[in-house]
Chains A and B, each alone.
Chain A
Amino acid sequence: MSAATPGRARAARSTRRAPWPGRAGHGFVAAYVLLLIAFGVVPTVYAIYFAFTNADGHISGLSNFSNAANDFRFLPAIGHVALYLLFWLAALVIFVVGLALLLHRLAGQGVSRALRFLYYIPGALAGAASVMVWLFLLDPSVSPASFLLRALGYDTFGQVIAPGHLPVLFTLIAFWTGAGGWIVVMYGALNNIPHDIIEAARIDGAGAWQSARRIQIPLLRKWIVYMAILAFAGGTQLFVEPQLLSQASVGVAGRDYSLNQLSYDFAFQNNDVNTAAAISVELLLIGLIAAALFVARSGFFDAD
Chain B
Amino acid sequence: MNARLRADGGALRRGAGRRAGLLAAAGSALALAAVAACSSGGGGGSASGTQNGFKPAAQTGGTLTVWVDSTRLAAAQLYQKQNPKVKMKIVTYDGDANGSNYLQTKVSLFNRTRGGWPDVVFSAENNEVTWAVPAGFAAPLNKGLIAQATLDGWASGANAPCTVDGTIYCLRNDLSQTVLWYNEKLMKQWGYQVPTTWEQYQALGQKVATEHPGYLVGDAGDTFTPEIYLWAAKCGANQITGAKAVTVNTTSSNCTKMAGLLDTLIKNKTISISSVFSSDFDKKEPGKILMLPGPAWYGGALFQGTFKTAAGQIAVAPMPQWAGDTSPSVGNVGGGTWLLSAHSANLKAATAFLTWVTTADDYQGKLAPGYPAYSAAAKTWLAGQAASGYYANDIAAPLQAAANQVWPGWGYGQFSQEAIWAATVTPGLNAGKSLVSLLPAWQSAIENYARSDGYQVATS
Interface set of A (CB-CB < 8 Å, partner B): 71-73, 139-142, 156-159, 162-163, 247, 249-253, 255-256, 267-271
Contact = CB atoms under 8 A, between A and B. Distances in A.
B427 A252 contact: yes
B426 A269 contact: no
A250 B109 CA distance: 23
B423 A255 contact: yes
A71 B423 contact: no
A159 B101 contact: no
Nearest to B105: A268
Contacts of B98: 250-251
B108 A251 contact: no
B135 A271 contact: yes
Contact of B419 (A141, A251, A253): A251
A156 B108 CA distance: 36
Contacts of B459: none
B274 A158 contact: yes
Interface string B408-436: 00000000001100110011001100000
B268 interface: no
B422 A252 contact: yes
A268 B414 CA distance: 12
Given A247-B100, A267-B108, 16 more contacts: A72-B452, A73-B452, A141-B278, A156-B274, A156-B278, A158-B427, A247-B94, A249-B422, A250-B422, A251-B98, A252-B422, A252-B427, A253-B423, A255-B419, A255-B423, A256-B423
Nearest to B451: A72
B48 interface: no
B280 A157 contact: yes
A163 B101 CA distance: 22
B131 interface: yes
Contacts of B295: none
Main secondary structure of the interface of A (DSSP, over half): loop
Contact of A268 (B101, B221, B430, B448): B101
A253 B422 CA distance: 8
A268 B108 contact: yes
18 contacts: A72-B452, A73-B448, A142-B279, A156-B430, A157-B279, A157-B280, A158-B274, A158-B426, A162-B430, A247-B94, A247-B100, A251-B419, A253-B423, A255-B423, A268-B101, A268-B109, A269-B105, A270-B452
Nearest to A139: B279
A163 to B, nearest CB: 5
B238 to A, nearest CB: 16
A158 B422 contact: no
B151 to A, nearest CB: 29
B337 interface: no
B244 to A, nearest CB: 13
A178 B431 CA distance: 31
B99 interface: yes
A48 B404 CA distance: 53
A35 B99 CA distance: 36
A141 B100 CA distance: 24
Given A158-B430, A163-B427, A251-B98, A270 B221 contact: no
A247 B97 CA distance: 10
Interface string B132-173: 001100000000000000000000000000000000000000
**A-B residue pairs, 8 tightest by C-beta:** A251-B422, A268-B105, A158-B430, A250-B98, A72-B448, A141-B280, A141-B279, A252-B426
Contacts of B221: 158
Interface residues of B, number: 35
A142 B221 CA distance: 18
A249 B221 CA distance: 11
B453 interface: yes
A162 B422 contact: no
Contacts of A158: 221, 273-274, 426-427, 430
B81 interface: no
Contacts of A157: 278-280
Nearest to B222: A250
A27 B269 CA distance: 69
B283 interface: yes
B309 interface: no
Contacts of A251: 98-100, 223, 418-419, 422-423
Nearest to B277: A250
B452 A71 contact: yes
B104 interface: yes
A71 B453 CA distance: 11
A249 B279 CA distance: 11
Residue from the set B100, B430, B451 with the largest chain A CB neighbour count within 10 Å: B430
B254 to A, nearest CB: 25
Interface in B263-293: 273-275, 278-280, 283
A255 B99 CA distance: 11
A179 to B, nearest CB: 28
A157 B274 CA distance: 9
Contact of A269 (B101, B273, B451): B101
A250 B423 contact: no
A219 B451 CA distance: 54
B108 A162 contact: no
A269 B105 CA distance: 7
Contacts of B135: 271
A252 B97 CA distance: 14
Contacts of B423: 251-253, 255-256
Nearest to A264: B105
Interface in B211-234: 221-223
B209 to A, nearest CB: 19
